[in-house]
Amino acid sequence: MKRGLTFRHWIAVSIKFGYPLPGRLYPCHYSLLYYCKGEKPTTFRSIRTPIKTCRHCGGEIRDYGGHREAMNPKGVNLTDVWDDIPPVRHWKFKSKKRKANQLSTKLLTRIVELSTQKGDVVLDPFGGSGTTFDVCERRERHWIGIELDNCDVIVERLTTADLEPHDFEDHVEERPW
């Protein structure tokens, strides 16, 4: 904050694969801290998530206080709790070479779409398995990455078609706010 960063949001991402720890609460979320340089971000795009439906009957889960007809047909405004991010369990979404935590492409796509526009540069100082770089390539963003460990996993992700992205069904407003 001494360098001009402004705290904007604390985002909780619900995860459904935490392990119970004796004598502690069951961990079930990631925390994302959103800072920007200056008072307001250069880009902050409005995102709407699909209206949730029952996987069995297809009906809408909420009634929105009886005001469903007043809802935007493009979806619900994004909140600071994201409970629709799929866990990265299946091998078609993650590298077998990297056993450490890998984030969902849907999570990174939402972050990239929320805070950048096509042609912008994204810096990821923790390259990991290269998910951010993959999302940036698919979403027409430039990227700069840093990774202290071996980068073979990142190269694999960017040069093969073996790893698939998660579905991204959010509606992103073309104009930033």
Structure tokens at 31: 């925390």
Q: Which runs of consecutive H residues, i.e. helices, occur in 8-161?
A: 105-115, 131-138, 152-159
49 neighbors 68 (Cβ within 8 angstroms): no
pLDDT confidence tier of residue 12, bands split at 50, 70 and 90 = very high
For the chain, domain boundaries: 5-176
Q: Of the ranges 88-97, 109-118, 149-158, which one carries the lowest mean pLDDT score?
A: 88-97
17 neighbors 89 (Cβ within 8 angstroms): yes
Pick the CATH number of 5-176 from 3.40.50.10490, 3.30.70.600, 3.40.50.2300, 3.40.50.150: 3.40.50.150
pLDDT at site 79: 93
The Cα–Cα gap between 6 and 11 comes to 15
Question: What mean pLDDT do residues 22-28 have?
Answer: 81
108 has pLDDT over 90: yes
Q: Name the nearest CA neighbour of 133 among 115, 114, 159.
A: 159
92 has pLDDT over 70: no
pLDDT at site 149: 85
**Interstrand relation of 76-77 and 5-14 (parallel, antiparallel or unpaired):** unpaired
71 has pLDDT over 90: no
Question: What mean pLDDT do residues 75-99 have?
Answer: 73
